[in-house]
């Protein structure tokens, strides 16, 4: 797996790989060397991967088509490249000959990149992974993922997991709870989000700047819409927190023990810090937790469309779902959850409904104006 870190939004077009070209075939070559040991008519065993035979057939056809067309790379833009590394490695292992190349872009640089590719016709990116993917559907092409199924318990939020127009799917979600620097936590044990607004938490809570696009901005808006926060609570929180730059800066500060708690800490990042040896821990509140859908979009003009579709299908396999659970994310298939990390199992984490992104986006402008006034770095 290769990772590029562009200096600016346009750097991806100049520094990531050139689009590969190849001819399609009505009689595509069979995949070489199935590493799974599967002997069925499908490249992946549908029973072992807990997918339908239709999905297994689609995966087989797409891998054959990718090989026939010479599509041997997958270019992804993701703001969570570190979290996804293990999953991408599993994809490369499952489909020999395909290499994942990634770039980390969010906010304005991401929009610049997508617009540049669209306007220039120089398409280099196949898939966009972004929790706010609904904001970028104009850059996506329609593709109905055969292997994607919404669990019955989350059926009320089906349109948040599968776009009705098939411009995105979200085969996994991510919980945001609070991070704890264990040596400094003392006797404080918040159980609700409103607890963090109390006077006893003054200057004890780290937070990324909510004036910047990203989870630190989305979290208080989401929590205001699921009933966890009132506007007064948000103002009190602003008086308590130590505002850093990005949420990544806040995580770094938590690892260094600058404060004992972090508001809206992503599970995967805190777990990663803990595995690196930092004395930190990820925790959920007892209710009303903030969750993001990890939307995957096949971009319009994707230079390797077969590989892009193959990836979107494969993300629903048990192999992929287990890799996502190991990264601290919550796969829709709870069989892929990490039994040692309850937040990777959305059922155990008591997730019943996802606040619609349309509602969050609708109220966002008003909250951004509030944040400009009350949150000071």
324-358, pLDDT tens digit by residue?
A: 999 989 999 999 999 999 889 999 998 989 999 99
Burial per residue of 298-316, b for 16 or more beta-carbon CB atoms within 10 angstroms, e otherwise? bbbbbbbbbbbbbbbbbbb
Closest of 222, 159, 254 to residue 360, by C-alpha = 222
Q: Do domains 2-171+294-344 and 174-291+349-374 have the same CATH topology?
A: yes
277-294, pLDDT tens digit by residue?
A: 999 999 999 889 999 999
8 or 92, which is more confident: 92
pLDDT of residue 39: 57
* 174-291+349-374 CATH pick, 1.20.1090.10, 3.40.190.10, 3.40.50.300, 3.40.50.360: 3.40.190.10
377 or 50, which is more confident: 50
Q: CB atoms < 10 A from the CB of 179, how many?
A: 31
CB of 311 closer than 8 Å to CB of 74: yes
Averaged confidence pLDDT in the chain:
89
Segments making up each domain of the chain, as ranges:
2-171+294-344, 174-291+349-374
Closest of 151, 150, 145, 229 to residue 194, by C-alpha = 229
Which CATH number applies to 2-171+294-344?
A: 3.40.190.10
Q: Is-above-0.85 flag for pTM?
A: no
Those residues whose C-beta lies under 8 Å from the C-beta of residue 14, and which sit 6 or more positions away, are none
Closest of 218, 219, 206 to residue 245, by C-alpha = 206
């Amino acid at each position: 797996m290769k990772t590029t870190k562009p200096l600016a939004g346009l750097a991806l077009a100049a520094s990531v790989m050139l689009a590969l070209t190849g001819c399609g075939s009505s009689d595509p070559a069979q995949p070489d060397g199935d590493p799974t040991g599967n002997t069925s008519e499908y490249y992946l065993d549908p029973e072992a991967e807990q997918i339908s035979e239709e999905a297994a057939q689609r995966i087989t056809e797409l891998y054959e088509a990718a090989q026939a067309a010479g599509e041997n790379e997958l270019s992804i833009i993701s703001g969570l490249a570190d979290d996804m590394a293990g999953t991408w490695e599993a994809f490369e292992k499952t489909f020999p000959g395909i290499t994942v190349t990634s770039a980390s872009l969010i906010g304005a640089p991401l929009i610049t990149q997508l617009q540049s590719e669209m306007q220039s016709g120089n398409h280099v990116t196949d898939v966009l992974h972004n929790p706010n993917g609904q904001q970028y559907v104009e850059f996506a092409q329609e593709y109905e993922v055969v292997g994607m199924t919404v669990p019955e318990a989350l059926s009320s939020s089906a349109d948040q997991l599968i776009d009705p127009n098939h411009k995105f799917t979200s085969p996994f979600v991510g919980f945001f709870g609070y991070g704890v620097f264990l040596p400094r936590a003392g006797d404080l044990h918040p159980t609700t989000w409103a607890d963090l607004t109390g006077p006893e938490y003054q200057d004890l809570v780290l937070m990324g700047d909510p004036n910047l696009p990203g989870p630190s901005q989305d979290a208080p808006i989401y929590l205001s819409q699921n009933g966890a926060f009132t506007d007064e609570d948000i103002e009190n929180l602003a008086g308590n927190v130590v505002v850093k730059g990005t949420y990544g800066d806040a995580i770094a500060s938590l690892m260094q023990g600058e404060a004992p708690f972090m508001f809206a800490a992503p599970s995967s990042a805190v777990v990663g810090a803990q595995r690196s040896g930092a004395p930190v821990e990820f925790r959920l509140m007892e209710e009303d937790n903030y969750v993001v859908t990890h939307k995957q979009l096949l971009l319009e003009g994707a230079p390797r469309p077969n590989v892009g579709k193959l990836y979107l299908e494969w993300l629903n396999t048990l192999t992929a779902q287990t890799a996502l659970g190991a990264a601290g994310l919550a796969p829709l298939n709870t069989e892929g959850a990490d039994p040692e990390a309850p937040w990777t199992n959305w059922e155990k984490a008591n997730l019943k409904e996802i606040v619609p992104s349309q509602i969050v986006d609708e109220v966002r402008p008003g909250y951004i104006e509030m944040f400009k006034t009350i949150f000071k770095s």
